Chain A
Amino acid sequence: MTSQTSTTKAFGQVVTTETGRMGRVAYARIAPNEDLVQGIEKICLAEGFQNAFVRGGLGSLVDACLGTLDGGYQEIKGPAVEVVSMAGEVRSIEGDTPNASLAGIVADTDGNVYGGPFLAGWNPVCMTFEVTLEEWLPDSPEAT
């Protein structure tokens, strides 16, 4: 683990800035019944991205599960629940495996909207999900 990729090294040593540049751009279509969050992690595995920003995402979920402030979840019933806004990133820190953090807004079958973090494993794609990832390449320690 380098200092550039640490989120928290130790008490009082939180890394708040990370310089780097954008690298490759990937576009993917995730098929039905695949989980949205883990699907994006799998794209990073397939494309060899260690870190990435989610630059575009639209598609539908069977039902959506969004985390709530009390540690529970809110389920929005479909099908289909449309993802109408989404942002997030993928980081590979522990064990070199990609970990996606995604949040967004979804619309139910009446167009009513709900927002929050997408819970990994609980958001299966309904018809299709289009996502664009931009690789994030942190500067090496020697470059800073």
Chain B
Amino acid sequence: MTRTTQTGHHHPRLMRHAGSFNPVRIHSMHYQSGRHIRLELEPGRTLYDALVEPLRAIGVTSASTTILGGYFDHLEYCVAPPDPSGNAVIAYSRPIEAGSAFMVFGNATLGKDMQSQPLVHCHATLRTEAGEAKGGHILPQASVIGAVPLTVLVTALEGFELRQAFDEETNIPLLKPYKES
């Protein structure tokens, strides 16, 4: 639902989360320079494998990536409506099939999950097989690169790493930067 307003005062609403408030509101880390990589996502592989494996082969396990446009043989995504259970403010929906889709633009973060396995968190805009413009949280293990490689600009993060950890405030696991273990 949207609302278009010409002018006037607006007071954005906040959300009360399930867990305890963390007084640190911004978790940031920096390194003196970035390492840039041009990556081509290999046709026929899942988005997850096509991102993770070539980067792991050159020692990159934490990165911020920009996915330029390209075709997927199959793409699935989900959206984030309110969580009816109340465990968290939102919960991801069931997978939505976009079919043979075109990814217009996407950003993906590469880090490690709570089992220290590679984690890809990807949001993107897409055109579905039905021709609709949609967007959401891409399911990287269920989305398969099409016949033409997709180009990705990778900024490898060095000097620190991204790890998923349970976040007490939101009551879900989230990626945050940590000193390298």
Q: What is A's interface to B at a CB cutoff of 8 Å?
A: 22-35, 39, 42-43, 46-47, 55-60, 62-63, 65, 68, 70-80, 82-86, 105-114, 121-124, 126-128, 130, 132, 134
CA distance A78 to B135 in the complex (A): 14
| B151 contacts chain A at the CB level, 8 A cutoff | no
Q: Specify which chain A residues have a CB less than 8 angstroms from the CB of B155 in the assembled complex.
A: 25, 55-56, 132, 134
Shortest beta-carbon distance from B139 to chain A in Å? 13
Which listed residue (B26, B64, B77, B79) contacts A43, Cβ 8 A? B26
- CB–CB A46/B26 < 8 A: yes
- CB–CB A58/B123 < 8 A: yes
Assuming A25-B33, A72-B6, A112-B133, what are 20 further A-B pairs, CB within 8 angstroms?
A29-B27, A29-B28, A29-B174, A31-B25, A31-B26, A43-B26, A55-B64, A56-B107, A62-B12, A74-B3, A75-B5, A84-B123, A84-B135, A109-B81, A109-B82, A111-B79, A111-B135, A127-B174, A132-B64, A134-B34
| B65 contacts chain A at the CB level, 8 A cutoff | yes
- CB–CB A74/B167 < 8 A: no
Q: Specify which chain B residues have a CB less than 8 angstroms from the CB of A127 in the assembled complex.
A: 80, 88-90, 170, 172, 174
Supply 24 A–B pairs (Cβ within 8 Å), ascending by A: A22-B34, A23-B33, A25-B33, A25-B34, A27-B160, A28-B26, A28-B27, A32-B14, A32-B15, A32-B17, A32-B89, A47-B28, A58-B121, A62-B14, A72-B4, A73-B5, A73-B10, A74-B4, A77-B3, A105-B135, A113-B134, A122-B12, A127-B89, A130-B64
Shortest beta-carbon distance from B167 to chain A in Å? 7
- CB–CB A65/B10 < 8 A: yes
CA distance A30 to B31 in the complex (A): 18
Q: Specify which chain A residues have a CB less than 8 angstroms from the CB of B3 in the assembled complex.
A: 74-75, 77
Interface size class of B (residues with CB under 8 A): 35 or more
Which listed residue (B13, B107, B162, B177) contacts A62, Cβ 8 A? B13
CA distance A61 to B136 in the complex (A): 12
CA distance A55 to B157 in the complex (A): 12
Shortest beta-carbon distance from B91 to chain A in Å? 10
Shortest beta-carbon distance from B19 to chain A in Å? 10
Shortest beta-carbon distance from B153 to chain A in Å? 8
CA distance A76 to B67 in the complex (A): 25
Question: Would A27 and B162 be within 8 Å (CB), given that A56-B65, A60-B90, A85-B125 are in contact?
Answer: yes
For the complex of A and B, 4 pairs with smallest distance between CB atoms: A107-B135, A84-B135, A28-B28, A25-B34
- CB–CB B7/A75 < 8 A: no
Which listed residue (A28, A35, A47, A79) contacts B80, Cβ 8 A? A79
For A31, A85, A106, the residue with the greatest tally of chain B CB atoms inside 10 Å of its CB is: A31
Q: Specify which chain A residues have a CB less than 8 angstroms from the CB of B15 in the assembled complex.
A: 32-33, 62, 79, 124, 126
Question: Would A56 and B109 be within 8 Å (CB), given that A70-B6, A127-B174 are in contact?
Answer: yes
